[in-house]
Chain A
Amino acid sequence: MDFEVLVRTNVTWILALANVILKDHAKAEDAAQLAFLKIHKGLDQFEGRSSMKTWMYRIVVNEALMIRRKDKSREESLIDAMLPRFDKNGCRFAEETINRETGETILSKKQQQDEVQRLILALPDQYRIVLYLRDIEEMTTAQVATVLDISEANVKVRLHRARAALKKSLGPFLAGGKF
């Protein structure tokens, strides 16, 4: 495939993925550019062990994470407080609903989407990236495991924690029927 066609066909999803990892548009463009150079260099050696797209995902994730790790100001939030709790018999403690505001008007569709996006970006890196690849890019567990070089069991654990944390963050909206 002509390289320019390859760039045009893939640039939007590559930039979106880099944005989710880096949460900074300028850095995401740098990551996308570095990833395309790696893809260009590696095209001849691409051995087809995984699909072409999975291979490209892996390059983009690695380039973005390398930039992310250099960012000294990045702060990782903890996810534990967002996960469900159980008593000594393994019974669930029902999650309390926090009413942020009363008399709030129903959110517009755009506001809902912005809120979901904001909450996803607030998740720690390892959970946010898995959630994005599985639930937004709609990759399989096996593909995500290949891209991130982790086991499928680990993908499932991270995915579940990410969804559980997001569910808790969205709690007031889900309970109030605002979504």
Chain B
Amino acid sequence: MMLTRAEIEVKNDGELVEMARANPEHYRFLMERYQDPLLRFVRRITQLPVEDAEDILQETFVKMYRNLNDYDSGMKFSSWAYRIAHNAAVDHLRKINVRPKQVSIEVVDYVKLLPSSVNVADEIAAKDLAEKVSAVMNELPIKYREVLILRFIEDKSYEEIMDILKKPKGSVATLIDRGRKMLVERMQNNQPL
């Protein structure tokens, strides 16, 4: 039975998972739904060029498919998918054993990482500031970088971050708090706001 794009779009993740379990060809719908957010996420935490990030994404999709029956409704499908992508990205970084390099990716969203007390007057200043934040972010240890990205760039809730990183809520809150302080401190020390 052929499904139209509109029909696919109204289906929730759980339904798409069931469809993929029943028919491997339908797994494509899940991948299509998640390819953009996952690729962005992988690039943000690894800071790798798009070709490398795509390799990680491919590996993520294959792992997701292999473990499709491990997903249950105890958590959001997106959290489960992000967890697999996160693990694949971290494994990849460990394997190539390099510090993330700064590559040209969208940086405007990085302003979200700063406390609301930091007022950015215009768009150009915001972009300039975002680039600085992005540069400092690359220097942060990955455990802080990933929670800050998930919380402020990916707009994930604490519960979702807890499921993605497999850490209790308290640890997530502590990491976010410390990461944010570290980011602001480094911004103040190295690149005055």
Bound pair (A, B) = no
| A interface list, Cβ under 8 A from B | none
